[in-house]
Structure 1
């Protein structure tokens, strides 16, 4: 690839993908990102590797390709993939009740909730999605205990309502019980280290905090989020729902592995059958909490639609279909997805929150630029 300067950073692009880099640079110039990274692969080849902006709001540290960013709910796809790996190995049965592996969870009307229900946001225990609520989940084991004490808000399996925190804590506890390792160690040993994700941390060590990106927001209503997500103690924890620290390059490697049916660089991580089953659409319709249209596979969101009833905004771009799978993070600050039919992998990180609609527009601009190169 040719080295070319980004708006205020660096990067590499392959001929033909100049439009993608241009959109990324324009978004930086417009202030949509304070600092950001973008990595795009096509048929296993990196075609865009771009970064720019600042890692801190004091403008003292520029973003590099290896600056760790918070992935927020993009983390959920990594946690779900750990569960699928354990199912692949026979340690978990996705159709079995959670209580089969975690008897205490079955209390208070939760005995029939299956692992599949949790992966599909059908467990009936969505809880709240506020910063104050997140703080109360901050201990991984404490979060698991809190999940075990929840009472279903609706009949499990009858509706899809996005579970911002609780569902992933249930999955994290299942990982611990099935593997004998906490979710952080299992994710690290099963995927992050062997995939060469050298700048990804399921719990950011204090020694790495100095080079990690901080959260930027000029909105006073986001001040609490900024304090929490930029706190080194929070970054040190691994919350299965929302606290992977990673880079666009590393997210791309992870999704390339899934795109290739669970294999990457001569190593198999999951069976192709498991990946196909995990990424097949299981639900399309309204989210019972927000009313917005959603498409879900088993732990991954899908493309090819707009969640907004009044406007056609597609966060995976207009070339995506129900076969395009991935997961985004809060405020549009992280996203990773793969499209098996085209061989396209897209990954993005940034440190500036946007409200949901603006975040989707930001993603669509970048994704559409990628699809346009393919004539889609």
Structure 2
């Protein structure tokens, strides 16, 4: 059991930081949650979920967290692998025959999850309306040739990770990614209404409004030939205005997630500890398989090295994930993040509705760990 004094000190320090950044206007609304040894040791929030309405951010506010959802999707797939419902080494075309066209017959589920399938691309002029018609984008991708020989390189599949995964899981299991997430992960952990791909109408009142804090300008400065625009063309860049669209909220696209920090941290705590509140999501063997290094070297889409497992970014020196060696998780556009550190039985999540580049997730992660006595972490 975590020392009560350390737990209280960590909670207090995080609250101080959140009060600071929301009072200054650097952030609008923020949530932070952390588990250590199976206990919720940090559970903090501050600021506003919606400025115009004056609605405060609280523990139950649902926050669009972008690619933080990719790690949740990776956890879901690990559960399905553990159940024998899918396999990392099975070609996607075994479930989705049309996908096998144009040299894609041997692309596996694992290659998709590790961003090495060679299919990050979208049509350059794709509209949000077209993107959120997930089956139609899936059909388009099934008719494309890979941009590189699958398995020989890795390039971040920003949107297509979600499109291809949603269709593959539907064909393999007969259920949507929303249904699978609720039944296999969120429901057993008691966070079914706080961990989502698409947001049902009944929960829209809990949804935070997104705001820009310099993220859109950063993306807008990218040159026309930037590989980033291959996987996220300008009409569908991950910016606040897109997150606030009704069709974005409804899209069942597991490249993204909408969640509370508490729910995200709970999923990663279950993975970090092996079992949480009597719930075991996956076996040690399956988690080891999911988090083993699968790709390294420069990412063709992002232009810098990324060490990837099956859907998780892996921690360590230089990693974008706020976790040391052996850790894993994913970050989301604009500053949300969630990760696990099994060596310390620790998990951490931050969600926020002002999209920026200020490194708040890194600061919170370091300071919480230091107060809890488990140290900081190297990295950017």
Q: What is the alpha-carbon distance in structure 1 between the residues aligned to residue 242 and residue 87 of structure 2?
A: 35
Q: Label 1:289 to 1:177 Cα distance change in 2 as closer, same or farther (>3 A).
A: same
1:275-295 deviation line (CA, Å, top 9, x unaligned): 121112222321122221211
TM-score by length of 2: 0.85
Q: What is the alpha-carbon distance in structure 1 between the residues aligned to residue 65 and residue 240 of structure 2?
A: 14
Q: What is the alpha-carbon distance in structure 2 between the residues aligned to residue 157 and residue 81 of structure 1?
A: 21
TM-score by length of 1: 0.86
Task: Tell me which residue corresponds to 1:239.
Answer: 253
2:361 aligns to what SS in structure 1?
helix
Task: Tell me which residue corresponds to 2:9.
Answer: 16
1:253, CA displacement in angstroms?
1.2
Task: Tell me which residue corresponds to 2:296.
Answer: 284
1:118, CA displacement in angstroms?
0.6
1:23-47 deviation line (CA, Å, top 9, x unaligned): 3332323433211100111111111
1:284 aligns to what SS in structure 2?
coil
Q: Tell me which of the two structures has the higher relative contact order, counting C-alpha pairs closer than 8 angstroms and 6 or more residues apart.
A: 2
1:344-369 deviation line (CA, Å, top 9, x unaligned): 110110001114xx3xx222111110
Task: Tell me which residue corresponds to 2:196.
Answer: 201
1:172, CA displacement in angstroms?
1.5
Q: Label 1:42 to 1:113 Cα distance change in 2 as closer, same or farther (>3 A).
A: same
- Asked whether the 8 Å contact 1:209–1:232 carries over to 2, the reply is no
Unaligned runs of 5+ residues in structure 2 are: 1-5, 221-234, 376-380
Map 1:243-258 → 2, pairs under 5 A: 244-258=257-271
Matched residues, number: 349
Which has the higher mean CA deviation after the structures are superposed, 199-208 or 288-297?
199-208
- Asked whether the 8 Å contact 2:92–2:99 carries over to 1, the reply is yes
- Asked whether the 8 Å contact 1:206–1:232 carries over to 2, the reply is no
Task: Tell me which residue corresponds to 1:113.
Answer: 107
2:16 aligns to what SS in structure 1?
helix
Q: What is the alpha-carbon distance in structure 1 between the residues aligned to residue 363 and residue 157 of structure 2?
A: 27
Q: What is the alpha-carbon distance in structure 2 between the residues aligned to residue 56 and residue 77 of structure 1?
A: 26
1:116 aligns to what SS in structure 2?
helix
Task: Tell me which residue corresponds to 1:148.
Answer: 142
Task: Tell me which residue corresponds to 1:351.
Answer: 353
1:134, CA displacement in angstroms?
5.2
Q: What is the alpha-carbon distance in structure 2 between the residues aligned to residue 315 and residue 265 of structure 1?
A: 26
CA RMSD, Structure 1 to Structure 2 (Å): 2.4
Map 1:237-316 → 2, pairs under 5 A: 237-242=251-256, 244-261=257-274, 263-306=275-318, 316=322
Q: What is the alpha-carbon distance in structure 1 between the residues aligned to residue 254 and residue 128 of structure 2?
A: 12
- Asked whether the 8 Å contact 2:68–2:330 carries over to 1, the reply is yes
1:113 aligns to what SS in structure 2?
coil
Q: Are 1:228 and 2:223 an aligned pair?
A: no
Q: Are 1:371 and 2:369 an aligned pair?
A: yes
1:14 aligns to what SS in structure 2?
helix
1:141, CA displacement in angstroms?
2.0
1:261-304 deviation line (CA, Å, top 9, x unaligned): 3x332233222210121112222321122221211111101222
Map 1:43-122 → 2, pairs under 5 A: 43-58=37-52, 60-122=54-116
Q: Are 1:189 and 2:183 an aligned pair?
A: yes
Q: 1:34 aligns with which of 22, 28, 36?
A: 28
Task: Tell me which residue corresponds to 1:10.
Answer: none
Runs of 4+ in 1 over 6 A off after TM superposition: none
